[in-house]
Amino acid sequence: MRPVQLELTNFGPYRKEVINFTQFDHAPLFLIGGDTGAGKSTLFDAITVALFATTSGDRNVEEMRSTFAGPEDDLTKVTFYFQQGNHLYRIDRVLQQERAKQGGGTTMQKATASLVIVDKIGGQEIEKLGDKIKEVSDQIEQILGLNAEQFKQIILLPQNDFSRFLKEDSKTKTQILKKIFGTGIFDHFQKSLEERLRQSNKDMEKRQAQLDGHFASQVWSVEELALLEQTPASEKLTRLEEFLSQRQENVTKQKSILKDAHEDLAQLQKSLQTAQDMAKIFQEVEQAKERYRMEIEEGAQGQAEAKAHLEELQFAQGLQETISSLKQYQKQLVQLEQDLDIAQEVLSEKRQAFEDVKAQKEELAVQSKDFLQKEEELETWKEDIIYAQSLAQEQEKIKRSMTNYKQLEETYQQARKEIEMLNKSLSDLEANRLSLESLHEAEKLLQIVGYSVENQLAQDLKEIEDLNQELTKTEKRHQMLSFDIDQAQEILKELEEELRRTLASRRQLMIVQLQAELEEGQPCMVCGALEHPNIGGAQADEVALKNLMDQVEKLQAQKEKQVATLSNRQATLSEVASKRQDLLDKVAKVKVTLEKHYQELEEHVKGRFDFDFSVDYETDRGQALLLKVEQYYQELQKRYDREERDYVRYQDELGKAQEKATDLAKTYQEAKAVLDQAQERLEDLQEGHPELESVEVYQERISLAHQELNLYNKQVKENSEAYNQLHADIKGIKGQIESITKSKDKVNQDVKRLSAELEQSLKAEGALANDLEQVELWLIEVNNQAIPMLQAKLTTYATLKQELQAQIRKGQELLQNQEQPDLDSLAQAVQNCQEIYDRQLAQFSVMEKGLKDATATYQAAKTLQDSNQEAFKAHQELSDLVKVVKGENTALTGRLNLEVYVIRQYFQQILDYANANYIGLLTDNRYSFVLSEEGRRARDHFGLDINVYDQLTGSERSVKSLSGGETFIAALAIALSLSEVVQNTSKGAVVEALFIDEGFGSLDKEALTKAISVLEQIGENRMVGVISHVDDMKEGIAQQLVIIKSHDGSSRIKIVDKG
What one-letter code names the amino acid at 403?
T
Q: Where is pLDDT greater, at 74 or 692? A: 74
Average pLDDT of the chain? 81
| pLDDT tens digit sequence for 359-402 | 887 787 777 777 777 777 777 777 777 777 777 777 777 777 77
CA atoms within 13 A on the CB side of 155: 26
- What does the alpha-carbon distance between residue 668 and residue 933 come to, in Å, rounded to a whole number? 122
Please name which of 230, 205, 200, 203 lies closest in space to residue 215, comparing C-alpha atoms: 230
Per 3-state DSSP, the chain is made up of helix, strand and coil in percentages (nearest 5) of 70, 10, 20
| pLDDT of 130 | 92
- What does the alpha-carbon distance between residue 247 and residue 223 come to, in Å, rounded to a whole number? 13
- What does the alpha-carbon distance between residue 316 and residue 326 come to, in Å, rounded to a whole number? 15
Q: Where is pLDDT greater, at 390 or 535? A: 390
Candidate ranges 108-117, 190-199, 651-660, 1042-1051; pick with highest mean pLDDT: 108-117
| pLDDT tens digit sequence for 795-842 | 888 888 888 888 888 887 887 877 777 888 888 888 888 888 888 888
Residue 133 near residue 113, CB atoms below 8 Å: yes
Average pLDDT over residues 515-531: 60
| pLDDT of 526 | 47
| pLDDT of 579 | 86
| pLDDT of 936 | 47
State which H helix or E strand residue 81 sits in: strand 77-84
Average pLDDT over residues 512-539: 60
Q: β-strands 1039-1045, 30-34: how paired?
A: parallel
3-state secondary structure 951-975: CCCCEEEEHHHCCHHHHHHHHHHHH
| pLDDT tens digit sequence for 208-234 | 788 788 888 888 888 888 888 898 887
Q: How confident is the model at residue 706 (pLDDT cuts 50, 70, 90)?
A: confident
Q: Where is pLDDT greater, at 545 or 132? A: 132
What one-letter code names the amino acid at 729?
D
On the question of pLDDT at 8 being above 90, the answer is yes
Average pLDDT over residues 681-689: 70
Please name which of 240, 235, 200, 238 lies closest in space to residue 216, comparing C-alpha atoms: 240
| pLDDT tens digit sequence for 181-195 | 767 777 777 778 778
On the question of pLDDT at 910 being above 90, the answer is no
CA atoms within 13 A on the CB side of 1021: 7
On the question of pLDDT at 939 being above 60, the answer is no
- What does the alpha-carbon distance between residue 723 and residue 716 come to, in Å, rounded to a whole number? 11
- What does the alpha-carbon distance between residue 447 and residue 424 come to, in Å, rounded to a whole number? 38
- What does the alpha-carbon distance between residue 441 and residue 633 come to, in Å, rounded to a whole number? 9
Q: By percentage, how much of the chain surpasses pLDDT 70?
A: 92
| pLDDT tens digit sequence for 321-342 | 878 887 888 788 888 888 888 8
746: DSSP letter: H
On the question of pLDDT at 925 being above 70, the answer is yes
State which H helix or E strand residue 852 sits in: helix 823-886
| pLDDT tens digit sequence for 459-491 | 888 888 888 998 899 889 889 889 989 998 999
3-state secondary structure of 414: helix
The dihedrals phi and psi of 43, each to the nearest 5 degrees, come to: -65, -40
3-state secondary structure of 610: coil
| pLDDT tens digit sequence for 848-874 | 888 898 899 889 888 887 887 788 888
Q: Where is pLDDT greater, at 1050 or 818? A: 1050
| pLDDT tens digit sequence for 984-1006 | 764 556 667 888 877 676 777 77
Candidate ranges 6-10, 170-174, 356-360, 906-910; pick with highest mean pLDDT: 6-10
On the question of pLDDT at 938 being above 50, the answer is no
Q: How confident is the model at residue 63 (pLDDT cuts 50, 70, 90)?
A: confident
Residue-level length of the chain: 1059
Please give the C-alpha separations between residue 879 and each of 875, 884, 889, in angstroms, as whole numbers: 6, 9, 11
CB atoms near residue 186 (< 10 Å): 19
| pLDDT of 892 | 45
| pLDDT tens digit sequence for 959-978 | 888 877 778 788 878 877 87
| pLDDT tens digit sequence for 136-172 | 999 998 888 888 877 776 776 665 555 667 777 777 7
State which H helix or E strand residue 247 sits in: helix 236-291
The gap from C-alpha 535 to its chain's centroid, in whole angstroms, comes to 100
Please give the C-alpha separations between residue 272 and each of 70, 129, 133, 445, 821, in angstroms, as whole numbers: 119, 93, 97, 142, 10
| pLDDT tens digit sequence for 553-595 | 888 888 888 888 888 788 888 888 888 898 898 889 988 888 8
Candidate ranges 614-618, 803-807, 941-945; pick with highest mean pLDDT: 803-807
177, 183, 186, 192: CA torsion to nearest 10: 110
Alpha helices of 764-816 — where are they, by DSSP H?
772-783, 786-814
Rg (CA), the chain: 67
Please name which of 834, 840, 836 lies closest in space to residue 257, comparing C-alpha atoms: 840
* Residue 1012 buriedness (CB in 10 A; 0-12 / 13-18 / 19+): buried
